[in-house]
Amino acid sequence: MLEELLIMELKKRSSDKAAQEMIERMADAGQQNAWDRLDAQLPQCGFGKQGVCCRICTMGPCRISKKAPLGVCGANADTIVARNFLRAIAAGTSAHSDHARAVAEVFLATARGEAPDYQFKDTVKLKRIAAELGVETEDRPVNEIAAKIGEIALGEFGKAEGTQLMARRAPKPRQEIWKKFDITPRAVDREVVEALHRTTMGVDQDYKSIIMHASRTALADGWGGSMLATELQDILFGTPYPGRGEVNLGVLKEDEVNIIVHGHEPILSEMIVAAASNKELLAEAKKVGAKGINVAGICCTANELLMRHGIPIAGNFLSQELAIATGAIELMAVDVQCVMQGLAEVAKCFHTKLITTSDKAKLTGVEHIAMEPKTALNTAKELVKMAIGNYKNRGRVTIPTEKQSAVVGFSHESINYILGGRFRASYRPLNDNIINGRIRGIAAIVGCTNPKVPQDFTHTTLAEQLIKRDVLVVTTGCATIACSKRGLTNPKEALELAGPGLREVCEAVGMPPVLTCGSCVDNSRLLVACTEIVREGGLGEDISEIPVVGACLESITEKAIAIGQYFVASGVLIIFGRELLPVSGSENVSNYLFGGIEKDFGGRWAVESDPFKAAEIMLAHIEGKRDALGINKVRERKLYDMADRRALTVE
């Protein structure tokens, strides 16, 4: 069944109807997109796919094969594959953490009064984080507390001594495991620098030792950089709470000025949203014949804005070029990460003004307007004015009608609140429902959309398979956008697809069976949620014991590998698409990552491209964890459920 489905979907390149329409439109107009460029690249290099290509020094490049099993320096496939794996993780960690550093800098500037356009929106969280970091709060003005938090946060990237402060949040047994292997993450920059050092020619040449540092570097991302980004963004821009929003290209408006914000750092997009509601600018838009100014997002920036402000999402990674091809976008402002260089070419074919805003990320031939914290709102207004001025230059516009309504905004705090209510906020109801078997377990479906896979196909198929079998699904990144486009985050539609147990729980608390938890740095919310589940009791002493599993079958980036590895090192099984984790060139590395590592950390990797099979692996894993916890026995004696549950109440 899958093969037929796959061939059908692959022909269409995407399982999203709006995307299909735009792909066709681009083909008719002779314009290229990521799928065409992938075709032009085929066949892709088999050495690269397996991770056995090394170009770390100029005695190479070396490619490992049966004929030549060693590089010039003598490095074997194990070393080369492990080194490439670690380098990918170092790059992914850098991306998340440099984003976090930028947020920390704006945070500190805001506290010091040097970024007048930003304010601290969640002062409750500010005080909670202050307490966690040992910052005195009593009788102290918010800005002073924030300044101290900002200084400590910035220190996490480059401090000379000590380990990541947020890593202390992890369950104690988890911290002990990290200590045992000496991989509690230190300063983020240090782990990345050490990763690059270890992987230069002639340094670390033992694959297990290299992978151990891969875990430490990835942990510096998950329990360091990414977690700091999430927490500081929540304090600055507000912690997400559930609300409604709309998703897919149909959110673009024919009669309004359309502005797309694309990238990752909400520092830019928050200001554009503020500028777009400015009365004078709205009046200007009307003067040029537009009914209003419509801001929509793409990629993780989109998730940040939808979760906090209900700003619509136009699409995920593979929809970025398609959005421009609607002819309806006056301006696209991009910052960092997952911005295709191909945008520059597509924008030339339409009236869209493409603007880069981060000094770290310029595109040849594209106008650059730097976003500085001091003058952020003015810059944002300038961008909105440019968009308004460009409205008159529109040519033919084709906006697909598809859009879906979504309920989004499931931060760790809001899940706590929804489950327990304002006065007894807690994970207890979730734990109870996992213990009594209404919910079998939790699956995280995260990450990208890769043109090698029909867009959104595996994320949505996997989610549907899992909710049908009473697994609560949590999503982030482009996968969350995929699920929303499909209606899976809309309780009305999605609950029809959910199994009876999951449905009952979701209806009782008023949430969809697929929870939108934010952008890719917000995978840290999932680490915190796992920790809270452990703390709540009844489901083991460590993350590795709870029935939780993760998958990214459409992954693209080095960031995704870093995320995968920090979950593995935190005790979780992670499944990637078969050819999307380039380690198959070393049997030893594969055996370790897919098996042996579980003995060390309780988590491991698996690869499977078929979402139906992946769902079975995930379900079996969940049931295995339930068996080990002894909670499946409760289900067999279902008649005595209530009494059992009472007897089961855990301290």
Q: Where does this chain bind ligand BF8 (CB under 6 A)? A: 264, 299-300, 316-317, 337-338, 447-448, 477-478, 519-520, 556-557, 559-560
Tokens of 35: 């799928």
Query: Could you give the CA distance from residue 12 to residue 19 in angstroms, rounded to a whole number?
Result: 9
Closest separation in Å from C-beta 556 to ligand BF8: 5
Residues numbered 58 to 77 that lie near ligand SF4 (CB under 6 A) are: 59-62, 71-73, 75
Specify the length of the chain in residues. Answer: 651
Query: Closer CB to ligand BF8, residue 303 or residue 465?
Result: 303
Comparison of 195 and 443: residue with beta carbon closer to ligand SF4:
195
- Residue 92, token pair as written in the block: 């992914």
Q: How far is the CB of 570 from ligand BF8 (least distance, A)?
A: 18
Indicate the residue among 207 and 410 with the shorter CB distance to ligand SF4.
207
Structure-block tokens of residue 198: 């270890």
Q: Are 387 and 331 contacting, i.e. CB atoms less than 8 angstroms apart? A: yes
71's contact among ligand BF8, ligand SF4, none, with CB below 5 to 8 A by partner kind, is: ligand SF4
Residue with smaller CB distance to ligand BF8, 447 or 603 = 447
Q: Are 494 and 467 in contact (CB under 8 A)?
A: yes
Q: How far is the CB of 559 from ligand BF8 (least distance, A)?
A: 5
Check binding of 55 to ligand SF4 (CB under 6 A). yes
314 touches, from ligand SF4, ligand BF8, none (C-beta below 5 to 8 Å by class): none
Which option in ligand BF8, ligand SF4, none does residue 309 bind, with CB closer than 5 to 8 A by kind? none
Nearer to ligand BF8, 9 or 265 (CB): 265
Q: Are 376 and 118 in contact (CB under 8 A)?
A: yes
**At closest approach, how far in Å is the CB of 305 from ligand BF8?**
13
* Distance between CA atoms of residues 142 and 110, nearest Å: 11
User: Rounded to the nearest whole angstrom, what is the least distance from the CB of residue 202 to ligand SF4 in the complex?
Assistant: 7
Q: Toward ligand SF4, which CB reaches closer, 62 or 271?
A: 62
Binding segment for ligand SF4 (CB under 6 A), chosen from 57-65, 405-413, 435-443, 482-490, is: 57-65
Residue range at the interface with ligand SF4 (CB under 6 A); choices 7-15, 55-63, 256-264, 409-417: 55-63
- If the CB atoms of residues 446 and 530 are measured against ligand BF8, the closer one turns out to be 446
Footprint on residues 276-295 left by ligand SF4 (CB under 6 A): none
Q: Work out how close the CB of 562 gets to ligand SF4 at its nearest, in angstroms, rounded to a whole number.
A: 22
Q: Which positions ≥6 away from 466 have C-beta within 8 Å?
A: 443, 445, 473, 615, 618, 619
By the rule CB under 6 A, 56 interacts with ligand SF4: yes
Binding-site partner at residue 5 among ligand BF8, ligand SF4, none, CB < 5 to 8 Å by type: none
CA distance 577 to 355: 33
Instruction: Give the residue among 219, 191, 639, 623 at the shortest CA–CA distance from 443.
Output: 623
Cβ distance to ligand SF4 smaller for residue 75 or 328 = 75
> What phi, psi does 504 have (nearest 5°)?
-60, -45
SS3 sequence of 310-351: CCCEEECHHHHHHHHCCCCEEEEEECCCCCCCHHHHHHHHCC
Q: How far is the CB of 300 from ligand BF8 (least distance, A)?
A: 3
- From ligand SF4, ligand BF8, none, which one binds at residue 347 (CB under 5 to 8 Å depending on kind)? none
Buried b (16+ CB within 10 A) or exposed e, 107-132: bbbbbeeebebbebbbeebbbebbee
Q: Taking CB under 6 A as the criterion, which residues in 302-331 touch ligand SF4? A: none
Nearest distance in Å: CB 576, ligand BF8 = 12
Whichever of 205 and 465 has its CB closer to ligand SF4, that residue is 205
Which CA distances in Å does 435 have to 324, 337, 536, 540? 48, 40, 12, 11
Residues whose CB is less than 8 angstroms from the CB of residue 646 and which lie 6 or more positions away in sequence, other chains included: none
- Sign of CA pseudo-dihedral 259, 265, 268, 269: positive
Nearest Cα to Cα of residue 383 among 363, 359, 354, 340: 354
Which tokens sit at 68?
């030549």
Closest CA to 316 of 257, 267, 364, 260: 260
Q: Which lies closer to ligand BF8 via its Cβ, residue 96 or residue 127?
A: 96
Name which of ligand BF8, ligand SF4, none residue 190 binds, using a CB cut-off of 5 to 8 Å depending on partner kind: none
Q: Of 58 and 364, which CB lies nearer to ligand SF4 in the complex structure?
A: 58
Closest residue by Cα to residue 311 from 284, 293, 328: 293
In whole angstroms, how far apart are CA 142 and each of 222, 427, 633? 27, 29, 51
Contact status: 54 vs ligand SF4 (CB under 6 A): yes
Provide, rounded to whole angstroms, the least separation between the CB of residue 228 and ligand SF4. Answer: 34
Using the minimum distance from each CB to ligand BF8, give the nearer residue, 71 or 342.
Answer: 342
CB 530 to ligand BF8: min, Å: 19
- Closer by beta carbon to ligand SF4, 77 or else 511: 77
DSSP-based helix, strand, coil % in the chain, nearest 5: 55, 10, 35
Q: How far is the CB of 337 from ligand BF8 (least distance, A)?
A: 6
- Contacting ligand SF4 within 171-210 (CB under 6 A): 201
Q: The tokens of 212 are what?
A: 């151990």
Q: Give the one entry of ligand SF4, ligand BF8, none that residue 559 binds, where binding means its C-beta sits below a cut-off of 5 to 8 angstroms depending on kind.
A: ligand BF8
Which of ligand SF4, ligand BF8, none is residue 300 near (CB under 5 to 8 Å by kind)?
ligand BF8
Between 71 and 564, CB nearer to ligand SF4:
71
Name 638's bridge partners: none
CA distance 439 to 434: 5
Take residue 623 and report the two structure tokens written for it.
């049931």
Min. distance of Cβ 58 from ligand SF4 in angstroms? 7
Please choose, from the candidates 562, 563, 558, the residue with its C-alpha nearest in 3D space to the C-alpha of residue 517. 563
Query: Measured on CA atoms in the order 207, 211, 217, 221, is the torsion positive or negative?
Result: positive
* Shortest reach from residue 299's CB to ligand BF8, in Å: 4
The CB-of-447 to ligand BF8 minimum distance in angstroms stands at 5
Contact residues toward ligand SF4 (CB under 6 A) are 54-57, 59-62, 71-73, 75, 80, 201
